[in-house]
Structure 1
Amino acid sequence: MNIHQKDSDGLLLVRFKLKADHTSAFEKWKSEAIERISDFKGFIDITTMNQLKDEDYYHILIRFDTEENIIAWLHSDERKKIFNDSAISWLTDRQEVIHNWNIFWFRIFEGTKKWKQWAVTFIAVYPLTIIIPMVVKLIAKLIPLSFFAGIISALMISGFMIFLVLPFIHNLFKKWLHE
């Protein structure tokens, strides 16, 4: 399996549910589907994530070398044979989404006005720029940091911003952002 991602890589996410007691039919269908997909132009790899609980979705991540090859796959006869077969009536609620690596970090702001993005980002950044330097100063009293204090502050602010504060703030303001 090739785990190295390039900006030109394309990722197709297929999400679906199974009707009750059709796991064996799904496993047979999945092996045939993987065989067809893996022979398609630009195919890199495929990952299947089984459902976590009974009502949850199955997810299949299909990686191609370019987004163009994903689009070709979506319009191909091979794909139609896989998903339009009447024998797969047990597969329900199917959704397919192309993921673009180039917009990964900012996808939550897709279609949002710039001034709203700025306002939410400011709300997330401002407290961090006040609190984190104070914490780093306290640490610097115990351990001499000199030059590294600024680097540590920047790392902590950006880390908290991306992984904790911005997702929380976005969820808080989600409705307003996308009005």
Structure 2
Amino acid sequence: MNNRQNDDDGLLMVRFKLKPENANDFEKWKSEAISCVKVFKGFINITILNRLKDADYYHILIRFDCEENVKAWLQSEARRKIFHDSNVLWITERQEVVHSWNMFWYRIFEGTKKWKQWAVTFIAVYPLTIVIPTMVKIIAKVIPLYFFAGVISALMISGFMIFLVMPFIHKLFKKWLHE
């Protein structure tokens, strides 16, 4: 099994419900399905997330070396046999989603005018460039940071931008951005 990753990797996420009385059938089916997908072109690895205690859904993540091989798997006869066998009627509410590894928060701006992207990004980054360096200066008075102050500021600004501010700002301005 190859665990490498590159920007072209493709991921197939399968979500489904399983009738509780068919847990043993699922285990047998799962081993057959894994054996089948492992020999498919471009297969990298598979992760099976068993349902949480009070959740109904199971999740299977299948990684391929490129999105084209994910799509080929979705159209393959081998996959069709796995899911359309009359013995797997106990899998319900199956959903499949293809995800590319090169997705990132700025992809939400596709089709948006550049000046709107700039305005929203400015609204997100400006307060951070004022607040974070000020906080780092205050910390530097107590703990000498020397040349690390700039690195810490940059790490905090970029982290807040990606994980907190941009998702919030995008939700706030989504309608306007995509008009």
TM-score bracket for the superposition, by shorter chain length: 0.7 to 0.9
SS where residue 61 of structure 2 aligns? Answer: strand
Q: Report the residue type matching 1:9 in the other structure.
A: D
The question of 1:164 aligning with 2:164 is answered yes
* Runs of at least 5 residues in structure 1 that lack an aligned partner in the other structure: none
Query: Which residue number in structure 2 is paired with residue 56 of structure 1?
Result: 56
CA change 1:21–1:103 in 2 (3 A) is same
Deviations, residues 10-38 of structure 1 (Å, cap 9, x unaligned):
21111111234222221111111111111
CA change 1:163–1:20 in 2 (3 A) is same
Query: Which residue number in structure 1 is paired with residue 79 of structure 2?
Result: 79
Distance, in Å, in 2 between the alignment partners of 1:120 and 1:53 is: 40
Identity %: 74
CA change 1:96–1:111 in 2 (3 A) is farther
Query: Which residue number in structure 2 is paired with residue 98 of structure 1?
Result: 98
Q: CA deviation at 1:107?
A: 4.5
SS where residue 92 of structure 2 aligns? Answer: strand
The count of residues paired between Structure 1 and Structure 2 equals 179
Distance, in Å, in 1 between the alignment partners of 2:143 and 2:34 is: 55
Instruction: Kindly report which structure 2 residues correspond to 1:113-132, keeping only aligned pairs within 5 A, or say none.
Output: 114-132=114-132
CA change 1:162–1:104 in 2 (3 A) is closer
Task: Report the TM-score when normalising by structure 2.
Answer: 0.84
Query: Which residue number in structure 2 is paired with residue 10 of structure 1?
Result: 10
Distance, in Å, in 2 between the alignment partners of 1:56 and 1:176 is: 36
Distance, in Å, in 2 between the alignment partners of 1:161 and 1:127 is: 11
Task: Report the TM-score when normalising by structure 1.
Answer: 0.84
CA change 1:87–1:116 in 2 (3 A) is farther
The root-mean-square deviation of aligned C-alpha atoms, in Å, is 2.4
